[in-house]
Chains A and B, each alone.
Chain A
Amino acid sequence: EDQVTQSPEALRLQEGESSSLNCSYTVSGLRGLFWYRQDPGKGPEFLFTLYSAGEEKEKERLKATLTKKESFLHITAPKPEDSATYLCAVLTEYGNKLVFGAGTILRVKS
Chain B
Amino acid sequence: DAGVTQSPTHLIKTRGQHVTLRCSPISGHKSVSWYQQVLGQGPQFIFQYYEKEERGRGNFPDRFSARQFPNYSSELNVNALLLGDSALYLCASSAGTNNEQYFGPGTRLTVT
Contacts and interface: CB of A to CB of B under 8 A. Distances in A.
Interface of A: 4, 31-32, 34, 36, 41-46, 49, 87, 89, 91, 95-103
B45 to A, nearest CB: 4
Nearest to A32: B98
A96 B42 contact: no
Residue of A4, A44, A89, A91 ringed by the most chain B CB atoms within 10 A:
A44
A39 B90 CA distance: 14
19 contacts: A31-B98, A32-B98, A32-B100, A36-B103, A41-B88, A41-B108, A42-B106, A45-B103, A91-B98, A95-B56, A96-B55, A96-B56, A96-B97, A98-B35, A98-B45, A101-B42, A102-B41, A103-B41, A103-B42
Nearest to B104: A43
Q: Point out which of B40, B42, B55, B97 has the most chain A C-beta atoms below 10 A from its C-beta.
A: B42
Contact of A89 (B42, B55, B102, B105): B42
Contacts of B43: 44, 87, 89, 98, 100
B100 A43 contact: no
A68 B88 CA distance: 32
Nearest to B43: A100
Contacts of A95: 56
Nearest to A43: B103
